[in-house]
């Protein structure tokens, strides 16, 4: 099996705000204050590299208060977020994601994590049903 390397994913600030679960203005202020590094893309838009956004999402989650649990929820949920950490051994992989204020952890085969090319900064969706979390990649650049 050949694993192709993926180009560094960059997110516009509007995308970052959606992924972090805050307003565009909040993300712009954080960027201006240097809470995370940004650059400009070829169109002149401010962007943040995926790994940097993942680092910031982890930092933000570590400092947040516990979220109130919803009164009711569906058995099927799909949450788009950023992969923030991947720990691989010879057989299994532990994949952590940040979807807005929610931190999700999935255990899967190493083969699955390798095939999905899961690394910090990759945009993915966590599909939750009962006690299983299935991770899908959202874009294939």
48 vs 31: CA distance, rounded Å: 9
What 8-state DSSP symbol labels residue 69? Answer: P
pLDDT for residue 67: 47
SS3 (DSSP) at 136: strand
Percentage of the chain with pLDDT > 90? 53
**CATH number of the structural domain 10-63:** 1.10.1660.10
- Give, in words, the CATH class of 76-137: mainly beta
The answer to whether the CB of 12 falls within 8 A of the CB of 45 is yes
Structure confidence at residue 69 as a pLDDT band (50, 70, 90):
very low
**Residue ranges of the chain that CATH labels 2.40.50.100:** 76-137
Number of Cβ atoms within 10 Å of the Cβ of 134 = 13
pLDDT for residue 72: 41
**What contacts 80, CB < 8 A, 6 or more positions away?**
19, 99, 123, 124, 125, 138
Question: pLDDT (tens digit, 9 = 90+) per residue, 5-43?
Answer: 667 789 999 999 988 888 889 899 999 999 999 999 999
Q: Which residues pair with 105 in a beta bridge?
A: 96
**Residue ranges of the chain that CATH labels 1.10.1660.10:** 10-63
């Amino acid at each position: 099996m050949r694993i192709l390397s993926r180009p560094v994913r960059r997110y516009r600030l509007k995308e970052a705000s959606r992924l972090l679960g805050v307003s565009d203005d909040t993300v712009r202020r954080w960027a201006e204050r240097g809470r995370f590094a940004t650059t400009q893309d070829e169109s002149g838009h401010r962007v943040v590299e995926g790994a940097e956004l993942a680092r910031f999402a982890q930092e933000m989650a570590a400092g947040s208060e516990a979220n109130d649990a919803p009164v009711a929820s569906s058995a099927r949920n799909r949450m788009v977020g950023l992969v923030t950490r991947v720990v691989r051994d010879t057989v299994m992989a532990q994949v952590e994601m940040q979807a807005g204020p929610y931190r999700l952890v999935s255990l899967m085969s190493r083969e699955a994590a390798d095939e999905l090319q899961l690394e910090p900064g990759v945009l993915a969706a966590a599909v939750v049903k009962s006690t299983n979390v299935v991770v899908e990649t959202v874009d294939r650049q």
